[in-house]
Amino acid sequence: MWKYSLLFVLLHFVTGGIVRRCSTSSFADPSQQLQVSIIVSSVPKDKVARRLILSWDNASPVDGEWIGLFNEEPSSSSVPLFVVQPQSSSGWVETNSHETASPSHDLGYIKRCLGFWVAYVSADNSTVVASSCLQTEPTWMSDLEAELSPLLLRQIFLPGTHDTGAYEEYNSSSESNLIVKYTITQEDDILSQLINGVRYLDIRAAYYPDTDEVWFVNHGLIRIHPLQSVFDDVRTFLQNTNEIVILDFHGFPVGFGSGLAVHEKLLELLKNEFGDFAAPSSLTWNVQLGDIWSTKRRLLLTYNDGAMVERSEILWPAVSHQWGDVQTLDNLYKYLSGVMNNPPNDKGWSAMAELTPTTLQVITDELGGLRRMSEMVNQNVTTWYRGIWGQTVNIVAADFFRGTRLVEAAIDWNQIRAQQLACSIQ
Ligand SMILES: *[C@@H]1O[C@H](CO)[C@@H](O)[C@H](O)[C@H]1NC(C)=O
Ligand SMILES: *[C@@H]1O[C@H](CO)[C@@H](O)[C@H](O)[C@H]1NC(C)=O
Ligand SMILES: *[C@@H]1O[C@H](CO)[C@@H](O)[C@H](O)[C@H]1NC(C)=O
C-alpha cells in the first residue's frame, strides 16, 4: 500500500507540485487547458500531401494575440511562416506549409521535434503563452512506466490505426485511382506509425500460396504489402524501445479456407518472428502494465479465431471492434455515444472512429475517398476523446491518425487515470 502512496508523492513532483486532493474528483482535465498543436492533414491540396493544420483549445482570445507556425523553436526574433488571430476559444486552421516525409528508419527512437513549432503569442509579442512542436512519440509508455505500471491493460487508453497495413504515401496519381482512394487508410508505414505513438495495429492477413510472397496484409480483397514488412517494422520497433504493442489479427480475407491449416502456418510464422516478445494470453486484460514490463514480453498477439486462441498460449482473444459502419459524422457520434455509454468491460476493445462508404458510394465516389472522409471526422473525433470519452475508452482506431490528436489525448488521459487509481488505492 505504501508503494502506491509513494507513487502518489512522486506524481506531485512530476506534475509540477500541484497538490491534488484525492478526496475530490477534480483532476486536471486535458480538455480544460490552453493548448496549441500541429496536425498533419489527410487531404492533399494542389497535389501536395502532409499539409499542416494548427489547432488551439481553451483560449480566451484578446485582440492582437496570435498563433504562429515556425520552422525553429520560437523566440522573440523568430519570423513566423504563418499567423492566425484566434477569434474563438478553439479552432483548426490550415496553413500553407507541409511536412516532407522522413523515411521511418530516420525518425529515431528518441522523442524529437520534426521541424515545425506552433506558439500562442501575447498581443505585445512579449510572451509565448503556450507552444508545442510536431513531434515523435517513440517512448511515451516507457517514459511513464512508474506511473502507468499499476494500471490494468483494460484501463489504459491506446491510440490505434484502422486497417493499419493499408498505408501508402500519397503521390500525384493517387487521386485518379478509385481503388487507391478507397483502400488506403494511412499515409505512414507501420514503423513510422509506432514511432509517432500508435500502439494498436489492426491487421488483415491474407494467404496467396501461388505467389512468391505467399503472405500479405490486405484491405478486404486488395493486396497491399507483404506481411513480412509488418513483422519487420513491429520487430524493429520492439527491439529499439521498451514499449507495449498490440498486433491484432482482425481478419483473414483471402486464402484461409474453412479449416485451421493455414492459421496453423501463420501461427508458426508468428512464433518464429515474435517468440521472444509475445506475451502469454494467461496474463489476460486484467494484467497490470508493470507485470507485462517485468515479463519483458511486450507484444500482444490478438487473434480473431477462437479455435486458434485455444490452441496457443501466445494468441490472445481478438480485440472487440466497436464499428458502426456509418457514413456521416452525426451517425458516428450517435454510434460511439452508445458504445461509450455501455462499453465492453471484460476484454480489449477498440472504438472504430472512421466512416465507411457503402459500395454505391465507392462506385459514385460521392464522398471523395477515404482521405476526405477521415478529414470529415478527425477533428471531432479528437474533441470527443480529448474530452470526457477519453476517461474510459480502451483503444481508439482512426484513419490517417496524424490528422487527429489521439496520441496526445491518450498520453494526457493515461496520466490522469494513473493519478485517479493511485488516489483510489490510498
Ligand atoms: C508581433 O509579431 C508579429 C509576427 O512577427 C508581427 O506581425 C507584429 O507586428 C508584432 N507586433 C508587435 C506589437 O510588435
Ligand atoms: C503512386 O502510388 C501508387 C500506389 O498508391 C503506386 O502504384 C505508384 O507506383 C506510385 N507512383 C509513383 C510515381 O510513385
Ligand atoms: C463537430 O465539430 C464542429 C466544429 O467544432 C461542431 O460545430 C460540431 O457540432 C461537431 N459535431 C459533432 C457531432 O460533434
Q: Is the CB of 90 under 6 A from ligand 3?
A: no
Is the Cβ atom of 353 under 6 angstroms away from ligand 2?
Answer: no
Give the model's pLDDT for residue 22: 64
Ligand 2 pocket member 173 (CB < 6 A): yes
Q: What is the number of the ligand 3 atom nearest to the C-alpha of 330?
A: 13
Q: How far is the CA of 381 from the centre of ligand 3 (A)?
A: 9
The CB-side HSE value for 120 (13 A sphere, CA atoms) comes to 25
Q: Where are the domains of the chain?
A: 33-135, 140-424
Kindly list the distances between the CA atom of residue 26 and the CA atoms of 11, 29, 32, 423, in Å, as whole numbers in the listed order: 16, 8, 12, 12
The torsion angles phi and psi of 97, rounded to 5 degrees, stand at -95, 160
CATH code of 33-135, in short, is 2.60.40
For residue 49, the ligand closest to its alpha carbon is: 2
What string of pLDDT tens digits covers the 426 residues of the chain? 333 333 433 444 444 434 455 644 555 666 678 999 999 999 999 999 999 999 999 999 999 999 999 999 998 889 999 999 999 999 999 999 999 999 999 999 999 999 999 999 999 998 999 999 999 999 999 999 999 999 999 999 999 999 999 999 999 888 889 999 999 999 999 999 999 999 999 999 999 999 999 999 999 999 999 999 999 999 999 999 999 999 999 999 999 999 999 999 999 999 999 989 999 999 999 999 999 999 999 999 999 999 999 999 999 999 999 999 999 999 999 999 999 999 997 789 999 999 999 999 999 999 999 999 999 999 999 999 999 999 999 999 999 999 999 999 999 999 999 999 999 876
Exposed/middle/buried for residue 116 (C-beta within 10 Å: 0-12, 13-18, 19+): buried
How far apart (Å, rounded) are the C-alpha atoms in residues 167 and 186? 4
Q: Which helix (H) or strand (E) holds 113?
A: strand 113-121
Q: Is 3.20.20.190 the CATH number for 140-424?
A: yes
380 lines ligand 3 (CB under 6 A): yes
Q: Ligand 3 centre from 374 Cα, in Å? A: 14
- Residue 20's nearest CA partner among 354, 367, 294, 420 is 420
124 lines ligand 1 (CB under 6 A): yes
33-135 and 140-424 share one fold = no
- What lies within 8 Å, CB to CB, of 187 at 6+ separation is 40, 42, 49, 50, 101, 167, 168, 169, 170, 400, 402
DSSP, residue by residue, 193-231? HHHTT--EEEEEEEE-TTSSS-EEEEETTEEEEEHHHHH
Rounded Cα–Cα distance for residues 228 and 368 (Å): 31
pTM of the predicted model as reported, rounded to 2 decimal places: 0.93
Cell digits for 285?
486484460
